[in-house]
Amino acid sequence: MRVTNRMVAGNSLRNLQTSTHRMDSLIMQLTSGQKIQRASEDPVVAVRALKLRNTVSQLEQYKGKNIKDAESWMELTENSITSISNYIEYMSGYCTQGSTDSFNQENRHAVAETIRAYKDMIYAEGNSTFAGRYIFSGYKTDSSLAFSNKEAPKYSYKIQEELDKSDIDIKKVTVNAVEPGDIDGYLNGSLTYGTEMYPKQVEVYRLRLSYDDLAEGTTPSITYLDADGNEQTVTVNRTMVSTQSEDYYKDLGAGEVRYIPETGEIIFGQDIYSQMQNSDKITVNYEKENFKTNDLKPEHYFNCVRTDKATGEEVTFDTFKGDQEIEYEVNFNQKIRVNTLGRDLISHDMGRAIEELADKVEEVADAEERLAELKAMLDNPKYSNDPKAIEQLNYMITDAENEVSMKNKEMQELFNQHIGIFQDFQTDVTSLQSDSGARTAKLDMIAARVADQYTNFTDLMSANEEVDYEDKTIEFASNAMVYNAALQVTGNVLQKTLLDFI
């Protein structure tokens, strides 16, 4: 085969162009750090790069956003649950003290205020927020668990509260309190001091509603299912306002059912109790307005209808529709629940139990103060020189001492009873605390796994797209030597002319 100069020149230029293209590719790789500049250069690398980049992007979202948000939400939840657990533990300590009446007489009112403060602190924990969202309100993250001072006066509610036979208990109350201010009436004959006035203890059955001080002019309506499953109705008689709260419990007649506004109690006797004692469903419907700051919002606990007092707009809440679990996606096809429902953590029973203890402490304190006032009257010149007055005061002091003794015993029994009640509260809270802790531990494991995945896929993405500078530098040096040699050879070939062969 005849090889011409033109053929040699053409082959030399083509090979030189190939070396130039290889050098250009190596220069682009070394300067950009990427194996390819266009998908057409290596479709396999390009397709793999798209998949790896998408995976790394998702892992970045899980690692840098979702997991961190979930951790913050759950950490805040655990802190609130721990605080509530501590408050309940403090209340258990007060119950132990109260069961032996180790309080000082001088500070009973202060003890009552401190006890009530725990209720406010527990309820306030229900308004904890994360990034502007209320963490204990289920799906209603824009609504606090308890009323703020601005919201409390705005709404009225029609509430349906579901109870059962276990919610009926017995309350012991000392009635016929001895009033020092009545002494003058006894002395001038306008009042008669008789046996019916002596302090005595009465027992009543009661249902305690979640709210007191219902809407003015309204009474709760009660229905229950009897043994045959038939719905029965109980008529409630709202009692008159009295200066003595003990009067509400006096002379409870057969078939009579009273609602006590100050305490939110519905009280009745043995005859009504015998009708409802086996009922597993007792429904109480009532209207409530004039909420106070830190009162729990009904929509988180009951099926209810809320009315805006200013506009008349009504909103119906079906509280128990769905579990209201808020989940974060924290890994591929892996979600974790971050929220704890406030209604499972903070109950009305918790607040009512605290209020009842505080009320009982104040009852004892008031009785002791009245007794001290009566004793001080013995030295009052107005009565000290009057034998009849001294005799009457001694009668009243004896009865007042009996009243203090009875109320003190009631207080101790109530505190003793509430030791178990707060232990049950503590058990429930501890259970939620354990559940939250377990989910946090699971999230920690997922976070560690996501971090490993992120590292692995980042390395894979780097290995797929980025050049190995050491290898490419050696390859570049080698190709540069070949390219320079090709230039030299091609220059020697192409510089000859026809005159060189004549």
Confirm whether 144 is domain-assigned: no
The number of domains in the chain is 3
Give yes or no: residues 184 and 158 share one domain.
yes
pLDDT of residue 469: 66
Give yes or no: residues 172 and 270 share one domain.
yes
- Segment 145-166 shows an average pLDDT of 92
Contact 454, 38 (CB under 8 A): no
Of 323, 339, 369, the residue at which a domain comes to its end is 323
pLDDT band, residue 252 (cuts 50/70/90): confident
Confirm whether 32 is domain-assigned: yes
The rounded distance, in Å, linking the Cα atoms of 125 and 128 is 6
Give yes or no: residues 202 and 300 share one domain.
yes
Instruction: Enter the tokens of residue 463.
Output: 């290995």
Confirm whether 272 is domain-assigned: yes
Give yes or no: residues 210 and 85 share one domain.
no
Identify which of 452, 341, 326, 335 has the alpha carbon closest to the alpha carbon of residue 67.
335
Which stretches of 273-416 are assigned E, i.e. beta strand?
A: 282-288, 303-308, 314-317, 327-331, 334-337
Give yes or no: residues 318 and 193 share one domain.
yes
Expressed as residue numbers, the domain containing 419 is: 61-139+331-461
CA-based radius of gyration for the chain = 41
pLDDT of residue 39: 64
Give yes or no: residues 254 and 372 share one domain.
no
Give yes or no: residues 231 and 368 share one domain.
no
Give yes or no: residues 223 and 312 share one domain.
yes
Helix (H, G, I), strand (E, B) or coil at 394: helix
Confirm whether 73 is domain-assigned: yes
297-354: pLDDT as tens digits: 999 999 999 999 999 999 999 877 667 899 999 999 999 999 999 999 999 999 999 9
Give yes or no: residues 335 and 405 share one domain.
yes
pLDDT of residue 467: 66
**Torsion angle of the four alpha carbons 145, 146, 148, 150, in this order, in degrees rounded to the nearest 10:** 90
pLDDT of residue 107: 86
Confirm whether 119 is domain-assigned: yes
Give yes or no: residues 112 and 180 share one domain.
no
pLDDT of residue 204: 93
119-143: pLDDT as tens digits: 999 999 999 999 889 999 999 999 9
Which neighbouring-strand residues pair with 200? 175
The rounded distance, in Å, linking the Cα atoms of 178 and 394 is 12
The rounded distance, in Å, linking the Cα atoms of 141 and 127 is 10
What are the distances in angstroms from CA 47 to CA 38, 44, 50, 67, 462? 11, 5, 5, 29, 14
Give yes or no: residues 188 and 95 share one domain.
no
CATH number assigned to the domain comprising residue 406: 1.20.1330
pLDDT band, residue 495 (cuts 50/70/90): low
pLDDT band, residue 494 (cuts 50/70/90): low
Give yes or no: residues 77 and 88 share one domain.
yes
Contacts 24+ apart (CB under 8 A), 136-142: 136/77, 136/80, 136/339, 136/340, 136/341, 136/342, 136/345, 136/346, 137/300, 137/342, 138/300, 138/324, 138/326, 138/339, 138/341, 138/342, 139/322, 139/324, 139/326, 140/299, 140/300, 141/326
The rounded distance, in Å, linking the Cα atoms of 52 and 71 is 26
The amino acid at 424: D
